[in-house]
């Protein structure tokens, strides 16, 4: 039985719902890259680390895992959209199939920056996978090729997602009580 922290308001996606969707996404990705032997999954730290770990282990196609870390200015309620790469991938992505793996697409600035940045490096193909999307928050149009769930505009934690770096390792995705989300 998982202990639910006091700060949690309500469960949005339980473990089984997430696991089922992750398996579906992995099956779709495995089918789409069936004839590819140089797929690189690029996880965007920190939020994607749990989703990426589960997704990668469900894939039936050969793949490498790499990571990047970003820094954004004025992240929070007001986003300027300014994003900076603070840790790059270990391997070159040129002439490789690249799949960016995100936990959530919110305003879209981060994914849009990543697609622009990686496209410039001339990969063989470039797609994006995100577990969650908040369409109401979108400020820039961005294509998500593999999407787990659309969710409403509420602050969510768990399964990699945080509030002030807490709650990332909860096995489910939940909303926070009002007094935390201020």
Task: Please return the burial class of 169, using the count of CB atoms within 10 Å of its CB with bins 0-12, 13-18 and 19+.
Answer: exposed
Task: Please return the burial class of 131, using the count of CB atoms within 10 Å of its CB with bins 0-12, 13-18 and 19+.
Answer: buried
Q: Quick one: which segment of 8-16, 45-53, 59-67, 118-126 binds ligand PRP (CB under 6 A)?
A: 45-53
> Which residue in the list 106, 145, 162, 165 is annotated as catalytic?
106
Alpha-carbon distance of 66 to 117, in angstroms, equals 15
79 binds ligand PRP per the rule CB under 6 A: yes
156 binds ligand PRP per the rule CB under 6 A: no
Q: Quick one: which segment of 33-41, 59-67, 97-105, 146-154 binds ligand PRP (CB under 6 A)?
A: 97-105
Closest CB 145 distance from ligand PRP, rounded Å: 16
- Residues near 135 by Cβ (< 8 Å), separated by ≥ 6? 150
108 versus 123: smaller Cβ distance to ligand PRP: 108
DSSP three-state, residue 28: helix
Name the residues that contact ligand PRP, by CB under 6 A.
44-47, 72, 75, 79, 102-110, 162
């Amino acid at each position: 039985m998982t202990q639910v922290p006091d700060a949690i308001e309500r469960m949005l996606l339980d473990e089984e719902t997430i696991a089922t969707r992750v398996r579906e996404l992995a099956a779709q990705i495995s089918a789409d890259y069936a004839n590819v032997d140089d797929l690189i999954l690029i996880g965007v730290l920190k939020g994607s680390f749990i989703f990426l770990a589960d997704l990668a282990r469900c894939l039936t196609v050969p793949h490498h895992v790499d990571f990047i870390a970003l820094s954004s200015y004025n992240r929070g309620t007001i986003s300027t959209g300014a994003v900076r790469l603070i840790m790059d991938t270990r391997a070159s992505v040129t002439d490789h199939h690249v799949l960016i793996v995100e936990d959530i697409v919110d305003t879209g600035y981060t994914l849009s920056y990543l697609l622009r940045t990686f496209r410039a490096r001339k990969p063989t193909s470039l797609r994006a996978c995100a577990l969650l999307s908040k369409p109401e928050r979108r400020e820039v149009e961005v294509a998500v090729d593999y999407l787990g769930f659309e969710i409403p505009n509420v602050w969510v934690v768990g399964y990699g997602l945080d509030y002030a770096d807490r709650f990332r390792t909860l096995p489910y995705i939940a909303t926070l009580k009002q007094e935390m989300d201020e």
